[in-house]
């Protein structure tokens, strides 16, 4: 069912992501699902591949992708896993690898991830570890995955202690963004993508932040391209997250991930948790980085414009959020690495943030 209109993209938009030693293309266009075979065949030999999807996405798109792949002589095996964050485990990754071995996939094979961020993470992780690494093609089916998680090569699974604690840097060989798939998203799922878009604007693009107030929801391809450009430029400076440059992308994520874990990955969507994390990071930034109060309020107002949450439910246990922070991988040797913004369009990593500052920001939520 189409819930809102998106105008077709009549000309393919291409972003070349370059992060030495890796580079790959991101294609943004309408109707790409029906041409996946042709697009992939130009870049990867195969012929064997695995298509990993979930119980929400597979019924919508898997048959079209399979037909397109087989039409050019590729031989896909389809694997469908339960939808949702609970599927992002080592056990699930191992089960997928067992199915790949049973299907006869070898080092010349490749993996296609067809779905949102969870599928992109686990399919990329499987591609990273199978035969010590085979190519990975991302076909993101959510706005959030298109603008964020499909770019940069971070792959991971969760543990009982926290999110994305076991993973690998394994950049995709290709990313295919068919904007038509966004028509099928429920409004809540669609809106959560704007949390990451607003994050990118806050940390790197004041002009885009201003433009989002009047964004054309029927013509999202240029906005998707701009966000990919922002993220890929940051990733190119620090692909393996060693120097602190890439850490800027964690703005709002330290507290956002803790909120997700405190809610058992069920009470709030990822983008909704990041929305709340952004607000908390803004409150810390007002106190410690000089963010003007009116800019903080403008950020909150923009999140509200896309129906993203700006307050925690009254019955949400804030203490549980604080407990979850202990497992955050962005804390190193006990030191808090927290991203703050001194003003819309810029951000930096600070080691001058205390746990009391973070607790105060969580309490305000």
* Spatial separation of the C-alpha atoms in residues 24 and 173, rounded to whole Å: 6
Residue 27 phi/psi, 5-degree rounding, is -100, 135
One domain, residues 221 and 318: yes
Taking residues 23-52, report their average pLDDT: 94
Per DSSP, the three-state class of 66 is helix
120, 149, 184 - which closes a domain: 184
- Tell me the pLDDT tens digit for each residue of 171-180: 999 999 999 9
One domain, residues 157 and 192: no
One domain, residues 167 and 217: no
One domain, residues 140 and 22: yes
Is the pLDDT reported for residue 333 higher than 60? no
One domain, residues 271 and 123: no
One domain, residues 111 and 218: no
Residues β-bridged to residue 176: 27
Q: Which H or E run includes 288?
A: helix 270-288
* Spatial separation of the C-alpha atoms in residues 281 and 259, rounded to whole Å: 13
- Tell me the pLDDT tens digit for each residue of 91-127: 999 999 999 999 999 999 999 999 999 999 999 999 9
In the chain, the number of structural domains is: 2
One domain, residues 143 and 241: no
The overall average pLDDT reported for the chain is 92
One domain, residues 251 and 156: no
Integer angstrom CA distances of residue 55 from 36, 100, 119, 150, 189 = 20, 19, 11, 19, 16
DSSP-assigned letter for residue 130: G
- Does 2 map to a domain? no
| Per-residue pLDDT at 7 | 60
- Give the domain CATH number at 62: 3.40.50.1970
Q: Which H or E run includes 300?
A: helix 293-305
Ranking 92-96, 120-124, 203-207, 233-237 by mean pLDDT, the lowest is 233-237
- Does 6 map to a domain? no
- Does 139 map to a domain? yes
184, 199, 218 - which closes a domain: 184
One domain, residues 193 and 178: no
Residue 50: domain span: 13-184
Dmax (CA) of the chain: 59
């Amino acid at each position: 069912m189409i819930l809102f209109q998106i105008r077709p993209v009549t000309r393919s938009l291409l972003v070349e992501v370059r992060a030495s030693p890796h580079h790959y293309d991101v294609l943004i266009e309408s109707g790409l699902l029906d041409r996946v075979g042709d697009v992939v065949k130009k870049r990867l030999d195969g012929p064997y591949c695995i298509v990993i999807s979930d119980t929400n996405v597979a019924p919508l798109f898997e048959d079209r992708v399979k037909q397109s792949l087989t039409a050019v002589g590729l031989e896909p095996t389809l694997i469908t896993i339960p939808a949702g964050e609970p599927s992002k485990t080592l056990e699930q990754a191992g089960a997928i690898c067992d199915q790949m071995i049973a299907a006869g996939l070898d080092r010349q094979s490749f993996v296609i991830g067809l779905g949102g961020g969870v599928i992109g993470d686990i399919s990329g992780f499987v591609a990273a570890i199978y035969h010590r690494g085979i190519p990975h093609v991302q076909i993101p089916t959510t706005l959030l995955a298109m603008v964020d998680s499909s770019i940069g090569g971070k792959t991971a699974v969760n543990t009982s202690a926290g999110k994305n604690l076991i993973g690998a840097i394994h950049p995709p060989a290709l990313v295919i963004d068919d904007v038509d798939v966004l028509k099928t998203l429920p409004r809540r799922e669609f809106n959560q993508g704007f949390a990451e878009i607003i994050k990118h604007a806050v940390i790197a693009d004041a002009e885009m932040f201003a433009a989002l107030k009047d964004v054309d929801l029927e013509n999202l391809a240029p906005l998707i391209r701009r966000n990919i450009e922002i993220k890929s430029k940051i990733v190119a400076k620090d692909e393996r997250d060693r120097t602190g440059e890439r850490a800027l992308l964690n703005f709002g994520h330290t507290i956002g991930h803790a909120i997700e874990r405190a809610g058992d990955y069920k009470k709030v969507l990822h983008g909704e948790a990041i929305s709340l994390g952004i607000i908390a990071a803004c409150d810390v930034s007002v106190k410690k980085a000089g963010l003007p109060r009116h800019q903080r309020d403008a950020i909150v107002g923009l999140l509200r414009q896309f129906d993203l949450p700006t307050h925690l439910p009254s019955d949400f246990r804030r203490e549980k959020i604080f407990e979850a922070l202990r497992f955050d991988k962005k804390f190193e040797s006990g030191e808090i690495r927290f991203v703050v913004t001194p003003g819309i369009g810029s951000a930096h990593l600070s080691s001058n943030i205390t746990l009391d500052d973070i607790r105060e920001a969580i309490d305000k939520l």
